């Protein structure tokens, strides 16, 4: 089976690490954690990438380091280096037109107002590539402020489940193709947030604070959020 390339869109820099716009990177990190590849990624051709064999799949996980608006530069270089056809590439991207927690596979189509997708389309000169859109919720302010904001406490309490579901969806795409993956995962619904996880950051049971540390009944715990570099 040829290698499947999974591109997660996001912005480099700690100030962007936990923002809605970086949910594509979060999904890549979750997959790298599952495969035991965290800490092994290498920086090359304007992206960090790590890959290998996982659950019988040959995967290459890629995070463009060009900032969102120039994501296409890194994507074009990765495809050229690996001589990969477009049907072996999936782009994981945030989407504020979807409610928080919804997943949508799409084969082709325009950028939908997303500058990262627009850059990829411009660089590749085609819209014919698959993408997994991860809902980050509609803005209640300007959309730029929204995508660069962090998730609210209720969303953060359910973010782990969403990232796991998105990682499952990527694995399904790599194994079965976009149509079967869409049939299985486009109907995904997040469960309501556990009320115990809605405590303010710093209280027992609350979400992690800006430093990534969460207080539990047994002590303080660091939530893994680092990039697989």
Q: Would you say residue 156 lies in a domain?
A: yes
- What's the whole-number average pLDDT of the chain? 88
d(CA 159, CA 172): 20
At residue 225, the pLDDT reads 44
Q: Would you say residue 39 lies in a domain?
A: yes
Q: Would you say residue 53 lies in a domain?
A: yes
What pTM does this model have? 0.83
What would the mean pLDDT of 125-150 be, rounded to a whole number? 91
**Domain count along the chain:** 1
pLDDT digits (tens, 9 = 90+) for 148-166: 999 999 999 999 999 999 9
Q: Measuring CA to CA, which residue among 217, 105, 122 is closest to residue 169?
A: 105
Active site residue 114: no
Q: Which of 21, 114, 146, 185 is catalytic?
A: 21
Looking at per-residue confidence, does 191 or 172 come out higher?
172
Q: Please work out, in degrees rounded to the nearest 5, the angle formed at the alpha carbon of residue 205 by the alpha carbons of 200 and 209.
A: 50
Q: Would you say residue 214 lies in a domain?
A: no
Q: Would you say residue 13 lies in a domain?
A: yes
Name the residue range of residue 117's domain.
4-197
At residue 131, the pLDDT reads 97
Q: Measuring CA to CA, which residue among 221, 207, 229 is closest to residue 42?
A: 229
Q: Would you say residue 183 lies in a domain?
A: yes
At residue 132, the pLDDT reads 98
At residue 194, the pLDDT reads 67
At residue 37, the pLDDT reads 95
Q: What are the phi and psi torsion angles at 68 (to 5°)?
A: -55, -45
Quick one: pLDDT band at residue 229, thresholds 50, 70, 90? very low
Quick one: pLDDT band at residue 228, thresholds 50, 70, 90? very low
CATH number for position 102 = 3.40.50.1470
Q: Would you say residue 222 lies in a domain?
A: no
At residue 44, the pLDDT reads 84
Q: Would you say residue 213 lies in a domain?
A: no
């Amino acid at each position: 089976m040829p290698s499947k390339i999974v591109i997660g869109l996001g912005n480099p820099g700690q100030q962007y690490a936990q923002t809605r716009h970086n949910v594509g990177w979060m999904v890549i990190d979750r997959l790298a954690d599952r495969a035991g590849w965290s800490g092994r990624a290498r920086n090359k051709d304007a992206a960090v990438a790590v890959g290998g064999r996982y659950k019988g799949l040959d995967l290459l996980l890629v995070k463009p380091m060009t900032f969102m608006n120039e994501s296409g530069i890194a994507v074009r270089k990765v495809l050229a280096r690996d001589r990969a056809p477009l049907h072996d590439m999936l782009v994981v991207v945030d989407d504020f037109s979807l409610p928080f927690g919804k997943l949508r596979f799409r084969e082709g189509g325009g950028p939908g107002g997303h500058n990262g997708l627009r850059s990829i389309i411009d660089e590749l000169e085609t819209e014919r590539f698959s993408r997994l859109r991860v809902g980050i919720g509609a803005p209640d302010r300007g959309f730029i402020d929204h995508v660069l904001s962090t998730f609210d406490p209720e969303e953060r309490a359910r973010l782990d489940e969403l990232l796991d579901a998105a990682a499952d969806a990527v694995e399904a795409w790599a194994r079965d193709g976009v149509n079967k993956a869409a049939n299985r995962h486009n109907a995904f619904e997040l469960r309501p947030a556990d009320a115990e996880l809605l405590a303010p950051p710093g209280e027992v049971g609350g979400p992690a604070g800006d430093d990534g540390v969460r207080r539990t009944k047994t002590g303080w715990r660091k939530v893994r959020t680092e990039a697989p570099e």
